[in-house]
Structure 1
Amino acid sequence: MEIRLWSVVAEPVALAAAGPGAEETGGSGAWFAAGPHGVVVVVAGGVRTHEDLTVPGPLPRVVERHLAGEPQPAVLAFARLPEGCLALGAARVTRIGRRRGAVQDLELRLDAPLPYEFLDRVRPTGPPGPQPDIDWVNLLPDDPATALERFVAGWYNDVPSGAPEKTAGLPQPLQTFHRAAAGRAEVYGRALEIFREAAATSEPGMIAFGQEGDGVFTLLTEAAGDDPRVWYHGLSDQPLRERERLGAYLMMVALAHAAMDSSPGGMAFADRAQTRRIVGPLRRVPLRPMRWPCAKSRFYVGPGVVALVGEDDGDWFEVYVGARHRSLLRRLRKLGLDWESFDG
């Protein structure tokens, strides 16, 4: 029986797509059939974006054996709904997570991305609920320390806090950052990491307080002073000085973490008109442009939303958007953006 893409079929029909004599088995939140026509996966949940899904493990041994074959068998994915199984179509394995030799999870990418109408059926999104206000913007540029504390407290209000790192001897803005982070790993970032402890550096009078996620550059600041200057070491031939001093810079770092590291979120290259529509409902953060990830990187915020807009030239912009709830990104679906990644 031919199964049309995005049609809903009964589970026995979906599993039968693996071919005659297929072995059927269940897992943790997923059901499988492995046979002469390939592997069928039926997931209940696990759809992360319009083209990516995660199959929870541990996977049954029969499925492991089929996936280990060469060439790798065809994978046909379905999403379980109350009325049946939605045919997601052919998929390819992008990651096999193993632990102690057993497959703990499987990541798949669909050949045909799901239209949003179907995505909303298999990954329902409710209303966002109350979001933290953005009154902290009114404190900038004069009081970045208080603005940082209020932003972090609001954006991460559902993340359990812990003991703050030891801050003795650090410049005051770094002490404020560590107090605001209060042990939350998310605040320290991935794309641009702030160290939990400052490190020595070969530059006289400087300490290293962070680095780019892949180690391309290190962040340096003066060891003394109430609000010292900031440099990127490794971003150019000579240390490149940031436009803002440490206090305001750490405020922008916290915003960059929210825009770049958040899920739900997305990244796209946008033209000027698209960029205006992205930031239209948002409020611009009144700080001078950050020099990373683009030469001029500006921030825009709304309740539960942070956007980073990077400009290297006047025609195209590198845009990152993070949100505290998926529904807050729904309006961006309509802008015709060519998303590099998007789970809104």
Structure 2
Amino acid sequence: MFPVPGATVALGSSSMVIIADPGDHPEVSGVWNDQEFRLVGPVPAPVASRLMEPMPFTTVGTPPQPLMRLFVRFDGGCLYLGAGRIPMCEVSEGVLVRCHLRISPPLSREVLDRVRPPVTPPPPPVPGWLGDVRANPGRALERFLTAWYPVASTREPTADIPGSLPRALAGFYRLAAQRPAILGSHNRIRLLGDLRPDGSAERLVFGVECQGGWTWSIPCGPGAADTDPTVWFDDGHLVPEQETLSGFLLQFALEEAAIGAPYRTSCHDWLCR
């Protein structure tokens, strides 16, 4: 028996049982929709080994995927959902952090509403920050981030922010003290302690692409606190971004909020015409 956030995994000699709690929370294991169950980790090594060996995308003649049975726990017992099939696993630094399981057969609306009870969504953030985008992008950024991201830490904004940082970047780090998610889940703004000059020592690298393919930097030197400097994109060739630092951070935050949101919808051009 192995606990994971929101569920318990039981391993047998030839099969696996996953028992989750009812509810709707993107950070723990459970039913995602009528066709998908998500196992959220970190997943213990014996479970990860069973899930990933063999991988679901294998050649003819490899052993079949492990048999998985999915349940949701209630006071009176457990409700059987169906079998689980693995379309995708996510690994970070050698640890299985998330596994998407296809529920077979898909759940009926009645069962889905029982295991994932409908809730009234909170009111969306008031987009008042839009009025500040052109005149005061730093204020627009702060209003957006504090409306979109709840406080996740009681940690006070650090007093260790260097006085040489431009005001926009210093303000971003103050917000990140209690809302660390704003540093990004796809591309990343470096942690304050990881800020380093580039090889030329002329620019401070503050942002990195998710696979390390490129970086973003700003000129470093005395007097930077009172500036809104140019942001330099570097993938082996330096190119200035169209937005200065304050506008760049706003666009970075908007993109990361969209990419990292637990629920997303998209529209393809051919469907919108």
Normalising by structure 2, what TM-score? 0.69
Contact 2:67–2:83 under 8 Å retained in 1: no
Question: How far has the Cα of 1:175 moved from its partner?
Answer: 1.7
Question: How far has the Cα of 1:143 moved from its partner?
Answer: 0.1
Return the letter of the residue paired with 1:49.
W
C-alpha separation between the residues in 1 aligned to 2:48 and 2:133?
A: 55
C-alpha separation between the residues in 2 aligned to 1:104 and 1:216?
A: 23
Cα deviation 1:79-104 (Å, max 9, x = unaligned): 3457862432243496699xxxxx99
Q: For the structure 1 residues 222 and 120, does the alpha-carbon distance in structure 2 shift closer, same or farther, using more than 3 Å as the test?
A: farther
C-alpha separation between the residues in 1 aligned to 2:83 and 2:71?
A: 7
Contact 1:30–1:41 under 8 Å retained in 2: yes
**SS, match of residue 128 in structure 1:** coil
1:89 is the counterpart of 2:74: no
Residue of structure 2 equivalent to 1:49: 32
Contact 1:93–1:106 under 8 Å retained in 2: no
Q: How does 1:56-135 map to 2 (within 5 A)?
A: 71=63, 73-80=66-73, 85-92=79-86, 107=99, 109-110=101-102, 112=104, 114=106, 117=109, 118-135=111-128
Q: How does 1:266-281 map to 2 (within 5 A)?
A: 266=264, 270-272=267-269, 274=271
C-alpha separation between the residues in 1 aligned to 2:173 and 2:152?
A: 15
Contact 2:83–2:105 under 8 Å retained in 1: no
Cα deviation 1:128-154 (Å, max 9, x = unaligned): 234432111111111011111112222
Residue of structure 2 equivalent to 1:194: 189
C-alpha separation between the residues in 1 aligned to 2:185 and 2:42?
A: 26
Q: For the structure 1 residues 240 and 111, does the alpha-carbon distance in structure 2 shift closer, same or farther, using more than 3 Å as the test?
A: farther
**SS, match of residue 91 in structure 1:** strand
C-alpha separation between the residues in 1 aligned to 2:50 and 2:217?
A: 51
RMSD over equivalenced CA pairs, Å: 4.0
Return the letter of the residue paired with 1:160.
S
Q: For the structure 1 residues 43 and 253, does the alpha-carbon distance in structure 2 shift closer, same or farther, using more than 3 Å as the test?
A: same
C-alpha separation between the residues in 1 aligned to 2:181 and 2:99?
A: 23
Contact 1:76–1:89 under 8 Å retained in 2: yes
1:210 is the counterpart of 2:207: yes
Structure 2 unmatched runs, 5+: 23-28, 55-62
C-alpha separation between the residues in 1 aligned to 2:169 and 2:50?
A: 52
Contact 2:184–2:256 under 8 Å retained in 1: yes
C-alpha separation between the residues in 1 aligned to 2:170 and 2:202?
A: 18
Question: How far has the Cα of 1:55 moved from its partner?
Answer: 7.5
1:172 is the counterpart of 2:167: yes
Q: How does 1:1-344 map to 2 (within 5 A)?
A: 29-30=7-8, 32=10, 34=12, 38-45=15-22, 46-50=29-33, 51-54=36-39, 71=63, 73-80=66-73, 85-92=79-86, 107=99, 109-110=101-102, 112=104, 114=106, 117=109, 118-162=111-155, 163-164=157-158, 165-197=160-192, 198-203=195-200, 205-223=202-220, 224=224, 226-234=227-235, 238-262=237-261, 264-266=262-264, 270-272=267-269, 274=271
**SS, match of residue 78 in structure 1:** strand
**SS, match of residue 220 in structure 1:** strand
Q: For the structure 1 residues 194 and 105, does the alpha-carbon distance in structure 2 shift closer, same or farther, using more than 3 Å as the test?
A: closer
Question: How far has the Cα of 1:194 moved from its partner?
Answer: 1.0
Structure 1 unmatched runs, 5+: 1-24, 98-102, 277-344
Which deviates the most, 165-174 or 46-55? 46-55
C-alpha separation between the residues in 2 aligned to 1:171 and 1:192?
A: 21
Return the letter of the residue paired with 2:231.
V
Normalising by structure 1, what TM-score? 0.56
**SS, match of residue 52 in structure 1:** strand
Contact 2:81–2:103 under 8 Å retained in 1: no
Return the letter of the residue paired with 1:54.
L
Q: For the structure 1 residues 130 and 96, does the alpha-carbon distance in structure 2 shift closer, same or farther, using more than 3 Å as the test?
A: closer
Residue of structure 1 equivalent to 2:26: none
Identity %: 25
Return the letter of the residue paired with 1:74.
L
C-alpha separation between the residues in 2 aligned to 1:65 and 1:252?
A: 39
Q: For the structure 1 residues 275 and 232, does the alpha-carbon distance in structure 2 shift closer, same or farther, using more than 3 Å as the test?
A: farther
Contact 2:19–2:73 under 8 Å retained in 1: yes
**SS, match of residue 253 in structure 1:** helix
C-alpha separation between the residues in 1 aligned to 2:163 and 2:69?
A: 56
Return the letter of the residue paired with 2:190.
F
